[in-house]
Chains A and B, each alone.
Chain A
């Protein structure tokens, strides 16, 4: 049993991917740290603001260890961070880990809702489109997708506010009610932001899934076999092609997280949602280098972890990899 487990291809892939992810994560922290330190904004002179006395500048220099060599500072920072100590916010005096603990769940909720919404719409839309190529659903989905991919998220967000909050007055324009105040009040404040964020995502998914599905329907032998057996077209599409195409969708979902996290920054800013993105903007405005570093590192690690998770899920779900045959 153990012998088989060690020899299993899936496990080998899991182990390789895990090992590959470690240097990437390390490089991400190094890149973030050097970026923040090489750019002129990080210096004590800028932090102290114009008209600061030399004693104030000195105090900041010592407090932020800016007088130490770069590598010493970097390893101190990395060591502390690995142990869960992200430092103290320069502008508010709060521990950064506490700020992250409050902000991260909000952003996570936004991202998860956006993903769920987009998949829930994209899968039926793409399936309908492929069922009748050049039909009404197909054309409609193309128009919707082209629109969604061309409209920036923050513009869409503002237009949604204009329609649903200013004109129709059915949803709150901005603000956030935490989940602890009840599910519906929380969801009411999340509907506009998550659907704004999810729209572009949905268009992306629909496009890829549609292309993949129609490739399968036209090119694959197993589809021909299924048809020849007399299975109805819908059944072929949903039970056979869609199951197979789910893989490319899965990869896309995992790899899109970086773009999605970038998008949340603006969406949170527009809808005044207290997540990671608005924390980043606040920290950037107040020159709070320590918070900026922490937010960038946490978001980047999120991206690395999600692509790692995608790979692992792929290895576990794809029988060609699971049973050791190389995937084409």
Chain B
């Protein structure tokens, strides 16, 4: 804690290195650079959300599953089909946008569940201490010990393929990481003056949690959550790729990639287009998370 208080004054000196932001390049325009680091990935994500959720509602898209079987495997930039068609004649652009809805919903859904439940458990563990803390953290440690993708596969299989089940399977295993982070951050502020003052003023646990712990812990949880969204989107794609996510005719980037695998030698576009969207989305989330983290730690 002391280190954090001292850091801003020492920044630039040899001892201020601990939390120095991982900025790349000699910053010629430091302010422009940091705002670009935030704006570019954030702008991409906003555009993606608009394109997936708003655009198909305004402009009528082709149905992502009822393609014209007479037009299979058209290349990109064909008339009427901007990104071409897949082996069933479905419009790939439409499938990308509707599949993007799945990715975004799963990403935000799992992180929201993990953040709320995990954050609550972690904060409670740190505030209460004692037996409660040991019980919560030891149980979560067991979950952390398990290979989560392996278990997500098992859970998703037995629940049956559907978007909602994927959200359950992934969020279940994202809880421990959030809980750990929330506990560490709550422990950090627990003995600070404002917490002691709140307790002396007679605030009950709920008030302390809502008014003092949440505002202090939330920023770091949300930054971590951005990275978590990326991980969740990847896991969703992996589950759909294995046929355990969104059931096959329904569009999802994962099962589009699976279709691309089947036509790898003849039609690599089927693989490359959804892969590019998946990659760009996760990259944007990672860049945004990094930029936010360095902004929090240097501010």
Contact = CB atoms under 8 A, between A and B. Distances in A.
Interface of A: 23-24, 27-28, 31-32, 35-36, 39-42, 134, 138-139, 142, 146-147, 149-152, 154-155, 158-159, 161-162, 166, 211, 214-215, 218-219, 224, 258-259, 261-263, 265-266, 269-270, 280-281, 284, 292, 295-296, 299-300, 303-304, 307
Given A134-B24, A142-B22, A154-B257, 18 more contacts: A24-B145, A36-B154, A39-B155, A134-B26, A138-B24, A149-B286, A150-B282, A152-B237, A152-B279, A215-B17, A218-B14, A262-B147, A262-B150, A280-B153, A296-B146, A299-B147, A300-B147, A303-B146
B271 interface: yes
Interface residues of B, number: 49
Contact of A269 (B17, B242, B286): B242
B24 A142 contact: yes
A142 B23 CA distance: 10
B150 A155 contact: no
Given A151-B279, A219-B18, A307-B145, A299 B150 contact: yes
18 contacts: A24-B142, A28-B145, A40-B158, A41-B158, A42-B158, A149-B286, A152-B282, A154-B257, A158-B275, A159-B271, A166-B264, A218-B20, A266-B238, A280-B153, A281-B153, A292-B154, A299-B147, A300-B145
B268 A265 contact: no
- Among A27, A35, A154, A263, the one with the most B-chain Cβ atoms within 10 Å of its Cβ is A154
Contacts of B142: 24, 27-28, 31
Contacts of B234: 152
B145 A304 contact: yes
B18 to A, nearest CB: 6
Contact of B153 (A42, A154, A259, A284): A284
Contacts of B241: 154, 266
Contacts of A147: 283
B215 interface: no
A307 B147 CA distance: 12
Nearest to B239: A266
A155 B145 contact: no
A325 B156 CA distance: 47
Contacts of B158: 36, 39-42
Contacts of A142: 22, 24
B220 interface: no
A158 B271 contact: yes
Contact of A152 (B14, B146, B238, B242): B238
Contact of B148 (A150, A218, A258): A258
Contacts of B282: 150-152
B61 interface: no
Interface in B146-183: 146-151, 153-155, 157-159
Q: Which 10 A-B pairs have the closest CB atoms?
A: A262-B149, A41-B158, A218-B17, A39-B158, A150-B283, A27-B142, A219-B17, A150-B282, A261-B147, A258-B147
A92 B61 CA distance: 47
B25 interface: yes
Contacts of A270: 261
Contacts of B204: none
A304 B148 CA distance: 13
Nearest to B142: A27
Contact of A24 (B18, B141, B260, B286): B141
Nearest to B271: A158
Contacts of A284: 153-154, 157
Given A154-B257, A218-B17, A261 B150 contact: yes
- Among A150, A261, A280, the one with the most B-chain Cβ atoms within 10 Å of its Cβ is A150
A163 B61 CA distance: 33
Nearest to A167: B268
Contacts of B115: none
Given A218-B20, A259-B147, A262-B148, A166 B265 contact: yes
Contacts of A304: 145
A150 B145 contact: no
B287 interface: yes
B90 to A, nearest CB: 20
A18 to B, nearest CB: 15
A31 B146 contact: yes
Nearest to B17: A218
B106 interface: no
A217 to B, nearest CB: 8
A161 B153 CA distance: 24
B142 to A, nearest CB: 4
B95 to A, nearest CB: 17
- Among B154, B155, B157, B257, the one with the most A-chain Cβ atoms within 10 Å of its Cβ is B154
B24 A41 contact: no
Contact of B24 (A139, A162, A218): A139
A266 B155 CA distance: 16
Contacts of B24: 134, 138-139, 142
A265 B286 contact: no
- Among A262, A270, A280, A304, the one with the most B-chain Cβ atoms within 10 Å of its Cβ is A262
B246 interface: no
A299 B279 CA distance: 28
A287 to B, nearest CB: 9
